Structures are given as structure tokens and as C-alpha cells.
Structure 1
Amino acid sequence: MHTTQMKWIAAIVPAICIGLFEFARHEFLHVISMDWGNVLVAVLTGIIFMLFSHGIFTLMENLYGKLQQEKQETAVLQERYRIARNLHDSIAQSLFFMNVKIMDIERACQNRQEPWTAIKDLREAIRFADTELRQHIFALQTVAAEDNIDLIAAMQDHLRQYETQTGTKVNLAITCAKKIPFSSYERKQLFHIFQELLFNIRKHAAATQVNVSLSEQSEAFTLSIADNGKGFVAAENLRQKKSFGYKLLEQDIQSIEADLQLVSIPGAGTTVTVTKKKKKELPS
């Protein structure tokens, strides 16, 4: 049922019902008293209104459920696309580089030259591919099957794994309640954003230290991630917006109606702040 049809039904059905009851009350006024007629009309009108409201709200709940399901399916497709792109950018390119180095080693052996430089490069490529693959596997396992994610606990586990894998020093400051007041979908998206930001630091920043802050004000929740890496010209990067990872990050940010602020200085690191406003509670 379309929204237009719902509007017409909501306007016409109550009017028709009330008109019929008024007609019935006047038609059978000689059978029952005026007072009992008013009571009967009120009761019948209330029953019809309850049935009508129940039908409308059931329809709205079904439509909302379908909308949420479509949003989740879209999020899953976007996540698969992101993972596929990351695998292409890291694992596939590493395998290509390994193949080139193996050819260099074969050529050096055939020409009776020293292959140690190529072997060293090959060993480094294997180490890099192993780290990348483990990181992707961990990202998939973290919240793949959990519907009601504990956001802070998931972030803490991810940071411990990140510190172990990369050797980067991680500092975590938490000044918010343990239970983040957002929906399951919003918490999942916040965690995906958190993962993507750390992945970009590991891939591009060459940082030795990362400071993560989780804070909560009366109106908003804030996630801040700062690194001491090489940084970049943020304004130019934001104008171009050609990065695949940045586009996906923007989509995740927009899907939960959050705000993203990025401050970066070449040679002095980058700070990314994600702010998600809380829903205002209606006064009781």
C-alpha cells in the first residue's frame, strides 16, 4: 500500500464510520435513550478507531522493518565491496610483486648473479601479505555474527589485536558510559568506521603511536583517532575525494547521520574526529 492510499484511507474511513453511527443513532432513537445512544456510539467508534489504528501501525511497522532490512543488506554489500577492494589493493598487488621477484631470482640464478636483494624483497612482501591477510580475517570475524555489539569492548579487542600485529603503540582514553545509546545498526557502523580509520593509518601513515579517545557529552558521542604519522595535505585530499576508501568512509558516516572532521599536517600526523549526535528524548 502506497503512502497516498494510506492518507486517503486515514481521512475517509473515520468520517464514514462516524457518519454511519450518527445515522444509526437517529434512526433507532425511539428504541434506546439518548444517553445510551451516545454511549453506544462512543464505544463502537472507539472499537473501530482501535482496529483502524492497529492496522495502520502494523503496516507502518512492516514498512519500517523492510526499510531496516534493506539498509542492512546495503551495508553488507558495501562491506563486501570494501573488503574486495582492500584485498585487491594489498594481497593481489603483493602476489604480483612476489611473482616479479621470483622471476628476478630465477634470472639472477641463470646469470650466476647474487639473488639476495630480490630474496630480501620477496621475504618482505610475504611478511606484508601475511599481516594484511590476518588483519582482514580479524575484521571479518570481529562482528560478523553479533547483532547487538558492545561497541567499547569490540574497540578494545580490536586495538589489542592492532597493537600486536603492527607494533604500534596504542593509547585508549574512555570518558563515556559503557553502554553507548545508539541502535545496533549505528553501533556496527561506528565500529566499521573505527576499523577503516585504523586500517588507513596502518596502510598510509607509517605511525608509531595512535591515540584513541571515546567521549560523551550531553548531546553527542565523539570518537577521536590521532596518529604521529607522516600526514598529508588534508584540504586538497578532501576536495579531490578520489580515494575509494574515503568514499566508503563517507557513506558509513552519512548512513548514521554523523559528522567527520579531519585535521592533518604533513610530517606531523593526522587527527580524525567522528561525532554522532544523540537522539533527543521527548519530555514525559
Structure 2
Amino acid sequence: MVGIWEIVRHQFLMPYLSMDMGNYLTPVLVFLFSIVLLVPLFSLMEKNARELEQERLLKTAMEAREALAKELHDGIAQSLFLLSVRIDRLEQKHERGEMDAETIGQLKKNVHETNRYVRQAISNLKVPVAGAQTSLLAQSVQEQLTQIAREVTVEVAMDWSLRDETLSPAEQAELLSCIREAMINVRKHTRAGRVAISGREDGQGWRVAISDDGAGIRHEDPFAVSGSYGLQIMKERAEGMGWTLALKSGDYGTIVEIAKKGASA
């Protein structure tokens, strides 16, 4: 553009414009042409930025819906299915005149369990807003420890050095779900006096352990026990993410370990 102006200036405008005036007009013309060319370009860039932001928000919303759908399927739907089975059995016993307090107690327990799953799913939608220096993963784990401490008289401890950036958002969500299932099992079955969670990483991967000093699980293969939906869900989640899940139990209590492939156990 400057070259064209210089040619026009020297070939046609020299009789009308002095050299000094031409030198003054050159930056003015460059500025005006720049404005004319850049304003549409900036408008296009802003439009593209808005479209990208809308796509990002839509993707975030879809991921949240998928996470909620999985939560509903793994927790609430399983509990409702079990509840429907127990109601069918209750109807059969009622027809035979075999109603008993144990059956009614189990039914009430399932209703409370479903209610707890619903409340937990709603709670999971409330993502805390934190500063850049706050570890959202560690904060979420601490909140789960605090919750179990409120519901059950139990001592809790946490040793967490696993960084948020080590896991993708999807991995963080699945890991928190596994930890929550482990907490539920502690509350329901172990009669523990102390619960501890640790999260560590090394150059190859990471490992998370949930331990308690309760009565332990008296089965050779806890994952194969009928009705152990929490453990089965944890196993399915871990396998779906390519992690390893190990459960050790005895008179000393129970330890659930979740590790990424390559992490030291």
C-alpha cells in the first residue's frame, strides 16, 4: 500500500504536494487503510471467539449431562431396581401370609439408600468455585471425609499430594465417584473408628488408598458377593478408565487401592 502511494505521489501529485506534505500524509493514509482493513478482521475474530466459547459451553454442558446420567444409572437406577425386586417379594410374601419385620426393614433400608443417592447426585452438581491456588480434587475428597465424619462417629485423616493436573477432568470425576463408593461401604458395613485417604503420584502414575480399621469383609472375593453393588460399581469404573483396583481386608480393617497403570503400589 505504501509503495502504491509513493508511485502515485511521485508520478501524479508532485506538482500539487510538496515533499514535506507528502511525508506527513503517508502515515495518515497508512493508519486509515489499516483501520479499514483491520476492523472487519477484528470483527471476524470476535465472532469466531464467541462461536468457540459457545461450543465450549455446550461441550461442558454435555459432559455434565453425561456425568449425571452415569451417576443416575450407577447409583439411583441400581437402587430403584433393587427396591422394585424387594417390593415384588414383599407382595408374594403378603399373598402367602408370610410378612415379617426383617423384610420390611430391608425395604425401608433400600428407600433410605435411594434417597441418599439422590441427595448425593444433587450435591455433586454443586461444583465449588475456588481460586487458582486451590486443589479442587483435594477439596472434594476432604468434603467427602467431612461428610462421613458428620454422619458417623469416626476419626478421619487425609494425606493428599496428588495434583489436579495429573488427571483429566473425566478421570477426576471417576476417581471421586470411586472414593465416594468406598466411603459408603465404610459407613454401611465396617463399623470403623478411623478412616484415612491418601493420594500420591510418582514419575509413572498415581495411587489412591482408602483405609479403615473396621471389622473387614469376610469373603474370599468381595466383588463376587451378591448385593455388593458398591464394590461392583467401583470395579467397573476403575476398569473403564484403565486403572487397577485392589481390595485387602482382614482383622486389621480394609484397604481399597486405586492405581493408574504404571503407578507404584
Task: Tell me whether 1:64 sits opposite 2:49 in the alignment.
Answer: yes
Among candidates 93, 106, 129, match of residue 78 of structure 2: 93
CA RMSD of aligned residues (A): 4.3
- Residue 228, structure 1, aligned to residue 211, structure 2: yes
Q: 1:24 to 1:86 in 2, by over 3 A?
A: same
SS at match of 2:197: strand
Distance 1:59 1:167, change over 3 A: farther
Question: C-alpha deviations, 1:8-48, integer Å up to 9, x for none?
Answer: xxxxxxxxx33432233222122223343233112211332
Instruction: State the secondary structure of the residue aligned to 2:14.
Output: coil
Once residues 245 and 198 of structure 1 are traced to their aligned partners in structure 2, the CA distance between those partners, rounded to angstroms, is: 11
Indicate the residue corresponding to 2:130 in structure 1.
Answer: 150
SS in structure 2 opposite 1:270? strand
Distance 1:172 1:30 in 2: 86
User: For residue 256 of structure 2, what is the aligned residue in structure 1?
Assistant: 269
* 1:105 and 1:115 in contact (8 A); partners too: no
Kindly report which structure 2 residues correspond to 1:121-132, keeping only aligned pairs within 5 A, or say none: 121-132=106-117
Change (3 A) 1:103 1:57: same
Gaps of at least 5 residues in structure 2 are: 187-193, 224-234, 249-254, 261-265
Q: How far off is 1:209 after superposition?
A: 3.5
Contact 2:75 2:117 in 1 (8 A): yes
Mapping 1:1-284, distance limit 5 Å: 17-26=1-10, 27-140=12-125, 142-143=126-127, 149-150=129-130, 152=134, 155=139, 158-159=143-144, 160-161=146-147, 163-164=149-150, 171-172=157-158, 194-203=172-181, 206=185, 209=195, 211=197, 226-228=209-211, 264-267=245-248, 268-271=255-258
Q: Percent identity?
A: 24
Quick one: distance in 1 between partners of 2:68 and 2:152? 19
Asked if the contact 1:18–1:45 (Cα under 8 Å) also holds between the matched residues in 2, the reply is yes
Q: Distance in 2 between matches of 1:38 and 1:23?
A: 13
- Mapped to 2, the partners of 1:98 and 1:41 lie a distance apart of 83
Question: TM-score normalised to the size of structure 2?
Answer: 0.60
SS of 2:74 mapped into structure 1: helix
The TM-score, its normalising length taken from structure 1, stands at 0.57
SS at match of 1:137: helix
Amino acid at match of 1:150: A
Q: Tell me if the contact between 1:163 and 1:169 (Cα under 8 Å) persists in the aligned partners.
A: yes
Output one character per residue of 1:140-184: Cα deviation in whole Å (capped at 9) or x when no partner: 2x23xx8xx215497368444465468786545688xxxx9x9xx
Q: Which runs of 5+ in 1 are unaligned?
A: 1-16, 183-188, 216-222, 233-241, 251-260, 274-284
State the shift of 1:61 in Å: 2.7
Distance 1:164 1:25 in 2: 84
Query: 1:121 Cα deviation (Å)?
Result: 2.5
Pick closer, same or farther for the CA change 1:166–1:130 going to 2, 3 Å: farther
Mapped to 1, the partners of 2:180 and 2:174 lie a distance apart of: 10
Indicate the structure (1 or 2) with the bigger Cα radius of gyration. 2
Matches of 1:161 and 1:81, distance apart in 2:
25
